[in-house]
Amino acid sequence: MAETIRSAAPPVDAASGTSAAAAPPARAASGPSFWRAYRVTLLSALVFIIFVVAWEWGLRALGVPKFIVPTLTEIWAEFLRAIELQQLALHTGITLYTVIVGFVLGSLLGMSIGYLLGMSPTAEVVASPYLLALQIAPKVAFAPLFILWFGYTIFPKILVAILIVFFPVLINVLSAVRAVDPAMINLARTFNATRWQIFWKIEFPASMPPLFSGLRIGSTLAVIGVTVGELVGGNRGLGFLLVTGEGQGNAALVYLTIILLTLIGIVAYCGVIFAERRILHYMPRRDFGNFENTGGK
């Protein structure tokens, strides 16, 4: 009988001296709170709302006239009018196309010359003074020259964008190739690796993160280059509308074109980030809004 009672008794935890059956059930791990999970998004939305309210009603409350800073309502009305009367969609498409072409060609040219100079120190020494002189020369000064060569076509805008995008990509690629550990190259040579194999297996992968940093910069500079070309000698594009709005004293049209140019730059920048995350998926990155590993900071 005593053995039956002893076998029916719940086991006792030797460390705490309490019955295991009497221990409270373990609580399931709760996920992050709503604020911790979405606070970056909420704060960004709050800042945006404050910005819109201050622009729409704050400026008029302070007595700022509309020919200096029009309200968002007036810019929206100008947007609808420009779509109907000034072919805004056509001008935006032309500028977007020119930015993409100039950015792609400038990036390819910068990458090609950057890798070439990085692989050949002699070529770097010979070409560096000329490349530096090209970078120091003001890009705006080339726009009238390109217009003399090609007329009022799309080519001067593309060439100005290429010149502006070219140098940041070149410098990032060249610096990355030069920063490769010489011990890695010497090790590859001990295994009888060819010059092409050293470049493809060591130097090219090492240059990818700096390359995308240069592409991020170039994606925004391409918009500047195209806009400069359209301002100097354009008859189509958002730069042309910008000059038109200035000539008419239409501040709403000027602000509208600036906003559209900014959106084009954001689209180009996000496109580079998307490509970077697809290609450099093996690289660690910090996701904004993830505070699990930072103590909520």
Amino acid found at 220: T
For residue 15, name the pLDDT band (cuts at 50, 70, 90): very low
**Residue spans of beta strands (DSSP E) within 30-132:** none
For residue 295, name the pLDDT band (cuts at 50, 70, 90): very low
Burial profile 184-215: b = 16 or more Cβ within 10 angstroms, e = fewer? ebeebeeeebeeeebbeebbbebbeebbbbbb
Find the CATH number of the domain harbouring 199. Answer: 1.10.3720.10
For residue 296, name the pLDDT band (cuts at 50, 70, 90): very low
Amino acid found at 14: A
In a domain, 208, yes or no: yes
Structure tokens at 125: 């020494």
Residue 40 has pLDDT above 50, yes or no: yes
Read off the pLDDT of each residue in 195-208 and give the average, rounded to a whole number: 87
In a domain, 242, yes or no: yes
Residue 42 has pLDDT above 70, yes or no: yes
Tell me which residue has tokens 């190739």.
177
Residue 137 DSSP one-character state: S
Structural domains counted in the chain: 1
For residue 25, name the pLDDT band (cuts at 50, 70, 90): low
**Contact by Cβ (8 Å): 156, 146:** yes
Alpha carbon 88 to its chain centroid, in Å, reads: 25
**Residue spans of beta strands (DSSP E) within the chain:** none
pTM: 0.79
Q: Phi/psi of residue 19, each to 5°? A: -75, 135
What is the pLDDT, as a whole number, of residue 185?
86
Question: What length does the chain have?
Answer: 297
In a domain, 293, yes or no: no
In a domain, 68, yes or no: no
Residue 81 has pLDDT above 70, yes or no: yes
Task: Give the separation between CA 107 and CA 211, rounded to whole angstroms.
Answer: 9
Angle at 295 between CA 291 and CA 297, to 5 degrees: 70
Mean pLDDT of the chain: 82
SS3 19: strand
Domain range holding 224? 78-279
SS3 72: helix
Lowest mean pLDDT among 15-24, 82-91, 281-290: 15-24
pLDDT > 90: percent of the chain:
33
For residue 24, name the pLDDT band (cuts at 50, 70, 90): low
Q: Show contacts of 30-36: CB within 8 Å, 24+ apart.
A: 32/291, 32/292, 36/291, 36/296
What is the pLDDT, as a whole number, of residue 86?
85
In a domain, 188, yes or no: yes
In a domain, 48, yes or no: no
**Contact by Cβ (8 Å): 160, 229:** yes
**Residue spans of beta strands (DSSP E) within 122-253:** none
Residue 291 has pLDDT above 60, yes or no: no
Read off the pLDDT of each residue in 160-180 and give the average, rounded to a whole number: 91
Q: What digits encode the pLDDT tens for the residues 116-157? A: 998 888 888 888 888 888 888 888 888 888 888 888 888 989
How many Cβ atoms are within 10 Å of 259's Cβ, its own excluded?
14
In a domain, 284, yes or no: no
In a domain, 6, yes or no: no
